[in-house]
Amino acid sequence: MRDITCKLLVIGAGPGGYVCAIRAGQLGVDTVVVEASKPGGTCLNIGCIPSKALIHAADEFARVAQCASGESPLGISLAAPRLDLARMMQWKDSVVGRLSGGVSVLLKRANVKIVQGWARFLDGKTVEVETEIGVQVIRAEQVVIATGSKPVGLPALPFDGPVISSTEALSLKAVPRSLVVVGAGYIGLELGTAFAKMDAAVTVIEALPRILPQYDAELTRPVDERLHELGVSVLTGARARELTRTKEGLVVEQSDGSLVTIEAEKILVAVGRKPATEGWDLEAIDLDMAGPFIAVDERCRTSMRGVYAIGDVTGEPMLAHRASAQGEMVAEIVAGKRRAWERACIPAICFTDPEIVVAGLTPENAKALNIEIVHDAFPFRANGRAMTLASDTGFIRMVARADNHLLLGIQGVGTGISELSAAFSLAIEMGARLEDVAGTVFAHPTLGEGMLEAALKTLGRPIHI
């Protein structure tokens, strides 16, 4: 096969890689992107998108089931619903297929050449790609590594048989009678909650003292309460030890040291993700590392000139939108523009029930940085729109500097609050003060009014509470 030469080579077509390639193509940069699987990467194909589709479908089923049980507060009743998981998965796959196909169209529209296969570095400007029709050599002036991440396994519970990762959980053909989730982070709780709503008996095991340890306890408390309402058994301070001999159960060491066996048709191991740095022959270019991650500067440059890295391979937060923003920045740098990473915040969302949003600094973060702050929260139980949705659990919290009221962070927990994350981030990124939010007219009745009320409450002049 004839060698390919280009100005920019992007390895990985996930949310970081494909955005980088599209933006570079728009700027007239001769760009090639290599992807071993489908365009869109983990997030689109086996992560963010399919999991949110499954969560939505599970929510719909749970609402109908509530109506069938006669417990709907809205006075709606109907016959018992039936769940066809295979059809649900078919719908989920159709959403993924449409989006993945759309990425391919966008890449081609930007004049980006797509090479499907597995890339291996020969040097800092050359890779070999194992394609279906042979080995393709690509030479580039500059390279972007956007290979993403993969699930972390446990030595005692290797992925096989009943032990599954989030990838297999999103492709199950039937709802398991019993599901044990090892790890109470956002991946484990999002999927565990979804399957609990589909009538699986779910047990969550977390080694640390509480669920969602990356979020503060005030934000996670409503999620914990909802898990108990759904009948999810949560064991904190507990560790998964081994499968039973029949592989139909899991031996767990509880916080007091005692052992208990839990029935488990399926065991979802969701203890985190690690950067996908193996199998690419990265040792051929000997990049500086930051622990397991590729070390980069404020322009995503690695220790080798002309080689960039973006997304999950560069460290926390391992979020798709961070990767996309990095990818766009690098594309513009390659095109000759002056850019650097100067983001005030990167929002994080946990799609549990209820949802959690964290943008900027929490009160604990600010205090750790010795910043004098003011902070307060407005509860959704005093929000008209939340009450009309029969879902008034949660709150919105503002964190601001004490001296000038500059917003440092906005957090919240509540049904549908993920859609407010853009407003939270925009306010922080634009350098808004509490007075700016308080002086904005918010539409009524909306959940967004909680943002206004939180600002007013933090200023000491609340209206509706």
Residues classed as catalytic: 444
Longest Cα–Cα distance of the chain, Å, equals: 71
Query: Going by DSSP bridges, is the β-strand pair 126-131/118-123 parallel, antiparallel, or unpaired?
Result: antiparallel
Helix axes 48-69, 85-109, angle to 10 degrees: 150
How far apart CA 231 and CA 237 sit, in angstroms, is 19
Is the Cβ–Cβ distance between 28 and 6 less than 8 Å? no
Q: What number of CA atoms fall less than 13 Å from residue 193's CA on the CB side? A: 28
Cis peptide before 317 (omega within 30 of 0): yes
Is the Cβ–Cβ distance between 114 and 17 less than 8 Å? no
Dihedral in degrees, nearest 10, Cα atoms 146, 147, 151, 156? -130
Q: Quote the distance between the C-alpha of residue 57 and its chain's center.
A: 18
How far apart CA 121 and CA 106 sit, in angstroms, is 27
Based on the number of CB atoms within 10 Å of its own CB, is 436 exposed (0-12), middle (13-18) or buried (19 or more)? middle
Is the Cβ–Cβ distance between 464 and 444 less than 8 Å? no
Is the Cβ–Cβ distance between 231 and 261 less than 8 Å? no
104 closest CA partner among 22, 4, 11 = 22
Which residues partner with 414 through β-bridges? Answer: 355
306 closest CA partner among 123, 95, 39 = 123
Tokens 């503060």, residue?
216
List b or e across 342-363, with b for residues whose CB sees 16 or more CB atoms inside 10 angstroms.
eebbebbbbbbbbbbbbbbbbb
Q: What number of CA atoms fall less than 13 Å from residue 376's CA on the CB side? A: 18
Which residues partner with 4 through β-bridges? Answer: 138
**Residues near 246 by beta carbon (within 8 Å), at least 6 away in sequence:** none
Residue 175 DSSP SS3 = coil
Tokens 């991946």, residue?
187
How far apart CA 260 and CA 47 sit, in angstroms, is 32
Q: Which two tokens stand for residue 235?
A: 């064991």
What is the chain's percent helix, strand, coil content, to nearest 5? 35, 25, 40
